[in-house]
Amino acid sequence: MKPIVGSSIRPLGTDGDQRRRFLFHHVPLVLGSALLLLAFMMVPLFDVHAYAHGDLMSGPFPHVQSGGGPMGHAADRSRDHDGPQTGRRGHGGEHAGRAGHSGHGQPRPAESASKTDAAGDTGTTDGASNPERADQRADTSLARSVQRFTVATGYLGVSFLTLTLLLGPANLLLRRRNPVSSYLRRDVGIWTAIFSLVHVIAAVMMHVSHGSSVISSAVHFFVGQDGGPLTNSFGMGNWTGLGALLIVLGLLATSNDVTLRKLTAAPWKWLQRLTYPLFALVVTHAFFYGAFLRMASPFTLLLVVGIVAVLIGQAAGFWLWRRKRLDGARTDTVSTAQC
């Protein structure tokens, strides 16, 4: 039987030498992600507060916020309806910091006005001379920075996940074998998991109020005041995010040679195919956080480009794989006939 054309060419990223992986996989990934993170945090184009925001609280799906601006009061209205915990502001580019809760976070407009009036009565109209107002501005600035960092790490994770799903089709397009395991795909997957974890931790910490624990704050992402699961857009976004996190942690724990040897190739490969539902959950998570309501945002453009690239890449990869299988079957038939 003649070998399939291109099947003997070495696939991308299959050299398991640790030093080579460090120099040619991890170092470029770290440097590239550091540059992207710096751009996401510093370049005004990526400021999540510069784009329209959606109402995540008052319905099962996100919709345009009726507040007239990025800092509209849909969350405040939902806080009165759903209870304090559902008034928390989403981390996906919706609001800066937390909604006013237990006296902490950014004050409501009425509170700001009253404090300004009080300052005027005492003659201290200069905001810089008022320590309380300066602290409020510092808290708001920090909250905005944390929120921007949360969004940035989330989209870095999406970018690396997209890359892992394009490596297989890239091997086929370059007429190389698509191996069961690729060290390059594993290493990109490791950084996908790292940024996913950082994204989740930053999101939870952004909602931790003074006097509350991290666990109780995290519970409010999923459970309403009545003790039932949150089914508004905010809750559904968090449930899909939790599912994605569990999958990415499972993939991280099994992406090693020991697990591959114990499970053998076929079951291990089926387990790694959980990257497909993982990608679907990530896109759904972004949808429920209103990403597609901000079509002018470069983050949304990045997400759309990733979705299109994955769909085209996977479709092209499947077509090439099927064609090679048919070519191999025809070659076997000819060889058998000649014998």
The pLDDT of 2-26, averaged and rounded, is 69
Q: What is the pLDDT of residue 14?
A: 65
The confidence score (pLDDT) of residue 335 equals 59
Residue whose pair of structure tokens reads 């200069």 in the numeric block: 126
Average pLDDT over the chain, rounded to whole? 78
The tokens of 327 are what?
Answer: 């070519």
Amino acid at site 280: A
Tokens describing residue 32: 């590239």
Residues 188, 17: contact at Cβ < 8 Å? no
Model pLDDT, residue 54: 87
Distance (Å, rounded) from C-alpha 134 to C-alpha 192? Answer: 38
Stretch among 33-42, 125-134, 193-202 having the lowest mean pLDDT: 125-134
Tell me the residue type at 22: F
Assess contact for 302 and 45: CB atoms under 8 A: no
pLDDT at 159: 97
The HSE-up count of residue 213 (CA atoms within 13 Å, CB side) is: 3
Which structure tokens are listed for 293?
Answer: 């309501």
C-alpha 87/C-alpha 56 separation (Å) is: 10
- Angle between helices 265-272 and 233-254 in degrees, nearest 10: 150
User: What local confidence, expressed as pLDDT, does residue 164 receive?
Assistant: 95
| Sequence spans of domains, the chain | 18-119+127-338
Scan for tokens 């991308």, then name that residue.
Answer: 12
Would you say 170 and 287 are in contact if contact means Cβ atoms under 8 Å apart? no
Sequence-distant (6+) residues with CB within 8 A of 20 are none
> By the 8 A CB rule, do 206 and 146 touch?
yes
The residue among 180 and 310 whose pLDDT is bigger is: 310
Task: Name the E strands within the chain.
Answer: 54-55, 63-64
Share of the chain above pLDDT 90, in %: 47
- 3-state secondary structure (DSSP) of residue 104: strand
Q: What does the angle CA 69 – CA 71 – CA 76 come to, to the nearest 5 degrees? A: 120
Between 294 and 175, the more confident residue is: 294
- Mean pLDDT lowest among 136-150, 182-196, 281-295: 136-150
Position with higher pLDDT, 31 vs 318? 31
Distance between CA atoms of residues 49 and 318, nearest Å: 40
Confidence of residue 338 (pLDDT cuts 50, 70, 90): low
Selection from 111-120, 179-188, 243-252 with the highest mean pLDDT:
243-252
Decide: 168 and 317 in contact? Cβ < 8 Å.
yes
Q: Tally helices (H) and strands (E) across the chain.
A: 12, 2
Neighbouring CB atoms inside 10 A of 168's CB total 21
Structure tokens belonging to residue 105: 């976070």
Q: What is the pLDDT of residue 86?
A: 39
Distance of CA 324 to the CA centre of its chain: 35
DSSP H/E element including 42: helix 27-42
Q: Kindly state the tokens that stand for 300.
A: 């949304």
Q: Which of 23-32, 173-182, 320-329 has the highest mean pLDDT?
A: 23-32
Rounded percentage of the chain residues whose pLDDT exceeds 70: 70
Report pLDDT digits (tens) over 52-110: 788 999 999 999 887 544 433 334 333 433 443 434 444 554 433 333 333 333 333 33
Lookup: tokens for 47: 């400021």
Phi first, then psi, for residue 55 (nearest 5°) are: -90, 115
